[in-house]
Structure 1
Amino acid sequence: MKLEIGNFNVKDVVFGNKTSFKDGILTINKDEAIRFIKKDEHITAVDLEIAKPGDNTKIVPIKEAAEPRIRPDGRSTFPGVTGEVEMAGSGRVHALKGCSVLGVGMHYGSFGDGLVDMSKEGAKYTLFSELINICIVADTDEEEERFEQQKRNTAIRIATHKFAEYLGNTVKEMEPEEIETYELAPIVKRKEDLNKLPSVVLVMQPQSQMEIMGYNARVYGWDMNKYIPTFMHPNEILDGSNISGSFMPSSSKWSTYDLQNFPTIRELYKEHGKSINFLGVIMSNLNVSLEQKKRSSIFVAQMAKSLGADGAIVTEEGYGNPDADYILCLRALEDVGVKTVGISNEATGRDGASQPLVSLDEKADALVSTGNVSQLIELPPADKVIGDLKALSRDGLSGGWSYDENLGPSVREDGSVIMENNAMFCGDRIAGWSIKTMKEF
């Protein structure tokens, strides 16, 4: 399969008379865009805001992010979500780089929502402070979940995907500034010199623990709670086959933007033919019961062994209960002779002294940490808030609180914030973006 991603570098985003892209400037007709978003009858109120790197702006509660893209051949950008189910991973897709569409709650937040600070201290914690963010700030008629801590946020999340495709239309007929090409030969038909290199597979564990449908990550529109580990071509993931779910503390998430640009996949491609033979992706899941967890680890290990993998990278979306799936998978791979490295964040408590993962095993001896979800972060007041800052302390966002006997409220009267890293939107960059380093004391 051969995938071409045609890139258009966005230097600025502005509101104007016509939605278009020219000379690096993405212009959006705000009224027309809002009418497009409100075609979904579940969106009851919506506004559009633009946040740029360096702005003294906080954005919260953020529910989803996607990169604006379009397929020149007319196929949907997110098959099974914004259009018909069709195979992703081949052909041409056009991408607006340097910007994202963020789905933001106008009033109500939930457990899995997060915050982005576009400047100062907070900017270093999340990739999205480096992007120009086009924010859909919306309210919905999803009354049954309005005051629930866990929300599907379906209307806002799907609006994010549809609007990303809407903006992608601005470059549908244009010639890209650069083209990235991703191609792998069939595994059994690779050249001898490639087969002599160590063979590596990437194992991905998206969030799929909610047994009630609608909260989990999706693959080709299919809820991944009803899924078993499957071999996928890495191009499929880069090309919109998977979208993010709503369930998981925010710093531990893979947004859809992360999946579209998954840096661990990109790094494996860079090394393919040089230091490794990149076999592809085993798309696994995260489960509820121990039996389900063991079953998935067996599937993963068998596939990796049958594919001829010498090594594997395993990365999980989340922490806590998912750690059991993560460690079982690492052990199962090691048991069949596949040398394995894990990538995850950890939950070592505010003092950094707690056990980092819920489950551990002596065979999980090569682990990469992307940060501590419980790390306390203090942020100064912002000149502007997009969304509702009070949601951080009011609505059960993981990492925020209404009152703590030692720390007081998460959102202070002057607009400054104290929170756990848990609430930083995709803050631990588990997809592979992380710039954090380890220090020994």
Structure 2
Amino acid sequence: MKLEIGNFYVKDIVFGDNLSFKDGVLVINKEEALAFIREDERITEAELYIAKPGDKIRMCPVKEAIEPRTRLDDRGVFPGYTGELAAAGEGTLHALKNCSVLVVGKHWGGFQDGVIDMSGEGQKYTYFGQLNNIVLVADTNEDFEKNEQQKKNDALRRAGHKLAEFIGACVKELTPEDTETFELGQIIKRDAEVEKLPSVVYVMQPQSQMEEMGYNDLVYGWDMNHFVPTLMHPNEVLDGALVSGSFMPVSSKWSTYDFQNSPNIKALMKEHGKTINFLGVIMSNLNVALEQKERSAIFVAQMAKSLGADGAVVAEEGYGNPDADFVGCIVALEDVGVKTIGVTNECTGRDGKSQPLVTLDEKCDAIVSCGNVSELIDLPPMETVLGELQALARDGLSGGWAGDEILGPSVREDGSIILENNSMFCGDQVVGWSPKTMKEF
């Protein structure tokens, strides 16, 4: 299976007369793009902004991030979601790099929404502070969700994915600056020199805990609460087969942009044939009931063993209840002789002294930590706020609060904020972006 992604590097974004890309400058006709967004009758208010690194801009409540792309064969970028169901992982894409479409609520936020700062101390807490961003700030007529802590955000998230396709189309007929090729052939009967290398699988645990449909991550447009562990080609993940959902404390979330650019997958692909024999991705899930968790762990371990894996990397989207899936999966793999490394955040409390994962096992002896979700962050006011900052305190955003006996409200009168790392949009970067390190004292 061979996937080619032609890259166009965005150095600047401006509004202008015609959607175009030239010499690193992305030009967007704002009214044309907004008219396209408003074709969904659920969108009641919409505006577009540009947010670049160094801008004194704070965004809240941020709901989703997507890389603008287009397919050369006219199929939808996200099969089964924005286009007809078709296999992903082969063919040619064009992508606008150093760039994302961000979706921000005009008013209402929820547990799964977060904060992005484009400059200052807060910029480093999320990967998207480094990118040139097209920001859609919008509201919908989905009144039934406005006072719900957990929101599906369906209209807003779909608007973001469609806008990313709309913008990405401007590079369809252009020649890319460079091309990334991702190719991984059949698992068995590989070259003898490759088969001598340690065989590795990557186990992903996307968010799928909500039994009501519409909140979870999607695979080919299918709610992953229905999913059971399945072997997938890594190219499928990079090629739009997975779409981020609207559940989980937001620092733990994997945005669609994260799936499209998964650094862990790219690193494993790069090492294939050099230091490892990369077997592919076991796409697992996260469950609620203990029996469901145990069943998934059995499936994952059986597949890894049957594939002949010597080692595995397990990454979870979330923490708390999902820690049981994460730890159970690692233990099951170790029990069948597959040496396993886990990648996760941890919840050690504001003082850093609590148990890092809900459940632990002595067989989990190789864990990469992406930081403490409960770490307190105090940020000064920002000149411009896109969205509604009060959502951080008012609407139950993970990591924010209306009032605290010692700390006061998350949102202060002068526009400064205090929050837990929990509220930084996709801030833990378990997919492989994380710059955090552990220090021993």
TM-score above 0.5, yes or no: yes
1:422 aligns with 2:430: no
Partner of 1:341: 341
Q: Deviations over 1:45-86 (max 9, x none)?
A: 100011110011100100100000000111110001111000
Provide the rounded CA distance (Å) in 2 between the counterparts of 1:324 and 1:242. Answer: 23
Q: Percent identity?
A: 69
Provide the rounded CA distance (Å) in 2 between the counterparts of 1:162 and 1:189. Answer: 41
Q: Deviations over 1:263-322 (max 9, x none)?
A: 000110111111100000000000010000000000000000011100000000000000
Shift of 1:218: 0.2
Provide the rounded CA distance (Å) in 2 between the counterparts of 1:85 and 1:22. Answer: 32
Equivalent residue of 1:85, what SS?
coil
Partner of 1:286: 286
Superposed structure 1 runs of 4+ greater than 2 Å apart: none
Provide the rounded CA distance (Å) in 1 between the counterparts of 2:40 and 2:294. Answer: 40
Equivalent residue of 1:135, what SS?
strand
Please, which runs of 5 or more residues in structure 1 have no aligned partner? none
1:356 aligns with 2:319: no
Equivalent residue of 1:36, what SS?
helix
TM-score of the superposed pair, with normalisation by structure 2: 1.00
TM-score of the superposed pair, with normalisation by structure 1: 1.00
Partner of 1:83: 83
Please, which runs of 5 or more residues in structure 2 have no aligned partner? none
Provide the rounded CA distance (Å) in 2 between the counterparts of 1:131 and 1:103. Answer: 14
What amino acid is aligned across from residue 421 of structure 1 in structure 2?
Answer: N
Shift of 1:170: 0.3
Partner of 1:187: 187
Q: Deviations over 1:338-378 (max 9, x none)?
A: 00000000000000000000010111110000000000001
Q: Deviations over 1:162-208 (max 9, x none)?
A: 11010110001111110000001101131000000000000000000
What amino acid is aligned across from residue 268 of structure 1 in structure 2?
Answer: L
Partner of 1:14: 14
Shift of 1:105: 0.2
Equivalent residue of 1:279, what SS?
strand
Equivalent residue of 1:188, what SS?
coil
Partner of 1:108: 108
Q: How does 1:6-405 map to 2 (within 5 A)?
A: 6-405=6-405
Number of residue-to-residue matches in the alignment: 441
Provide the rounded CA distance (Å) in 2 between the counterparts of 1:89 and 1:175. Answer: 21
Provide the rounded CA distance (Å) in 1 between the counterparts of 2:144 and 2:211. Answer: 17
Equivalent residue of 1:333, what SS?
helix
What amino acid is aligned across from residue 411 of structure 1 in structure 2?
Answer: V
Q: Deviations over 1:384-438 (max 9, x none)?
A: 0011111101100000000000000100000001000000001111101010111
Provide the rounded CA distance (Å) in 2 between the counterparts of 1:186 and 1:370. Answer: 33
Q: Deviations over 1:217-252 (max 9, x none)?
A: 000000000110000000000000001011011110
For the aligned residue pairs, the C-alpha RMSD in angstroms reads: 0.5
Provide the rounded CA distance (Å) in 2 between the counterparts of 1:337 and 1:296. Answer: 17
Provide the rounded CA distance (Å) in 2 between the counterparts of 1:12 and 1:24. Answer: 7
Provide the rounded CA distance (Å) in 2 between the counterparts of 1:431 and 1:35. Answer: 34
Provide the rounded CA distance (Å) in 2 between the counterparts of 1:271 and 1:11. Answer: 30
Partner of 1:413: 413
Provide the rounded CA distance (Å) in 1 between the counterparts of 2:69 and 2:39. Answer: 20
What amino acid is aligned across from residue 329 of structure 1 in structure 2?
Answer: C
